Homo-oligomer: A and B are copies of this chain.
């Protein structure tokens, strides 16, 4: 009846790990053993209380309730703790272990859509351009990281927020698939389109990720960026974000996605009535 028994220490943690049965896959066994070990050590390191743990459970349940096909709050909770950036880095390094350096990667984020329309090179992704929007002509070449050979028929899937900080699926006033499109490279591996010079924006603050940022006394802003996924047959697909080198928040991105080699310069244009800035962005893909 007395509680003068030993605290639940490493023996207890090992017993939880050892409950895994013989038919679990080796990878599942490895991943969950490490997760159990770290979660238990975390609780012991800080003498986590029931009230604190229940507050964490509430945040997890709240994240799930807010998530839909248009929003992934569980992902955002991880993002503000730097986990997606870290996992992206681990994954890409493992995949590229044997290959030559290709273009740097960044996190997918929660706003990509699988059904973005294919558009013609030289056309635009900005419709109903806002009055404070600065139209940019973005173009570049997709090449093989090993040989430098241009890759025809590569796909450049691009998306960005408008100047009000909202992606089109967050904003009823934007037309469907505004600031979003897929471009297919020509025989010389080239793509081009008009878009907006991106602007910083806050991550959504109405859920548990926002609550956590407030509790941590952190701001919610992301530096100005454009999202890209580049794919080509026979090559590893590349998910990245490019950041305006003049943007605020490059050193304190609320989701920690800025890495070396991902900042780009927007060059003022004088002779193009359709755009204020030029942005050249070339991508090297690693062979699969």
Contacts and interface: CB of A to CB of B under 8 A. Distances in A.
Interface of A: 1-5, 7-8, 12-13, 15-16, 19-25, 28-32, 34-36, 38-50, 52-54, 57-58, 60-67, 72-75, 77-78, 81-94, 96, 101-105, 108, 212, 215-218, 252, 256, 259-261, 282, 284
A24 B64 contact: no
A57 B31 contact: no
B36 A38 contact: no
Contacts of A13: 82, 86
A52 B73 CA distance: 17
A261 B92 contact: no
A216 B32 contact: yes
A259 B47 CA distance: 19
A61 B73 contact: yes
B90 A48 contact: yes
> Taking chain A's interface residues, is the majority helix, strand, or loop, or is none over half, making it mixed?
helix
Contacts of A32: 81, 212, 215-216
A235 B243 CA distance: 58
Contacts of A60: 60, 63-64, 74, 77
B40 A39 contact: no
Contacts of A63: 60-61, 64
Among A13, A40, A74, max chain B CB count under 10 A is at A74
A84 B16 CA distance: 12
Given A19-B216, A216-B28, A259 B5 contact: yes
A42 B38 contact: yes
Given A13-B82, A38-B39, 17 more contacts: A2-B261, A5-B259, A7-B90, A8-B90, A20-B216, A21-B218, A23-B217, A30-B46, A32-B81, A36-B82, A39-B83, A40-B82, A43-B83, A48-B87, A48-B90, A61-B73, A61-B74
Contact of A40 (B7, B53, B86): B86
